[in-house]
Amino acid sequence: MAQPEWKRSGGADHVIVAHHPNSLLHARSVLFPAVFVLSDFGRYHPRVASLEKDVIAPYKHMAKTFVNDSAGFDDRPTLLYFRGAIFRKEGGNIRQELHYMLKDEKDVYFAFGSVQDHGASKASQGMHASKFCLNIAGDTPSSNRLFDAIVSHCVPVIISDDIELPYEDALDYSKFSIFVRSSDAVKKGYLMRLIRGVSKHQWTMMWRRLKEVDKHFEYQYPSQKDDAVQMIWQTLARKVPAIRLKSHRSRRFSRYDRGGK
């Protein structure tokens, strides 16, 4: 905070990566003038972090990457898939409600899973054998599950009212995902009617789009064109004009505040 580089702009031209939901837990209220690179805003006060100022970056996916994937509609026997923690706190109570509603549905896999029981590899296999993958709010609005679904080319069904998505100013997620309000998802029969109502053609269009955009969610070293690293930098670059405008406006009266010198 005492460094000249910080003082020059009050931190507004600094970028801080704080991707874990609990990163900089006690420092964020002081560092908030900087641009944060975050996973979501679930544990941030609106004064500290917002979409206007900050950048959402994807989690690193844990599922296998499928190159030249040919597993289309008829090659995926499971209609709807979820594997993960079912009993969650805070905004994740909806997982429990949906589990009770869907666990006995035909063509639906909804079960508990964790990293400890080889959950990542099992989830990767399960997602790649499924047409749709549930992405439900947990302790925070987002998780790596969404990005596992994307690289598995399993159409994400996103049930998380407060989720913010990476590069959404450049990517139209509705072209390869289905969004469902939490209040609708818990209505009896609503979710399955919606999913079963998606035609093979509609699903295939979303599947093809997933195969086009999955590169944007790959972290690589060295980074390559349009991968996750490049997309994050491009998103940061699009923030620069607003940062510059705010900085210039803040200096309007600075000369007079110094006594006209």
Both 158 and 33 in one domain: the answer is no
Same domain, 98 and 184: yes
Per-residue pLDDT of the chain (261 residues; tens, 9 = 90+): 789 999 888 899 999 999 999 999 999 999 999 999 999 999 999 999 999 999 999 999 999 999 999 999 999 999 999 998 887 655 568 999 999 999 999 999 998 876 666 667 888 999 999 999 999 988 788 899 999 999 999 999 999 999 999 999 999 999 999 999 999 999 999 999 999 999 999 999 999 999 999 999 999 999 999 999 999 999 999 999 988 888 888 888 877 766 555
Number of domains the chain is built from? 2
Same domain, yes or no: 181 and 86:
yes
- Helix ranges (DSSP H) in the chain: 4-9, 28-31, 93-102, 119-128, 145-151, 182-185, 190-196, 200-213, 228-250, 254-257
Is residue 256 in some structural domain?
no
- The verdict on 129 and 28 lying in the same domain is no
- Which pTM was predicted? 0.91
Distances (CA, A) of 28 to 2, 25, 62, 202, 224: 16, 6, 28, 43, 31
171/196 same-domain check: yes
The residue segments making up the domain with residue 19 are 4-56
Mark whether 182 and 209 lie in a shared domain: yes
Q: Are residues 85 and 40 in the same domain?
A: no
In this structure, which amino acid lies at residue 152? S
Residue 117 shares a structural domain with residue 202: yes
- Find the CATH number of the domain harbouring 157: 3.40.50.2000
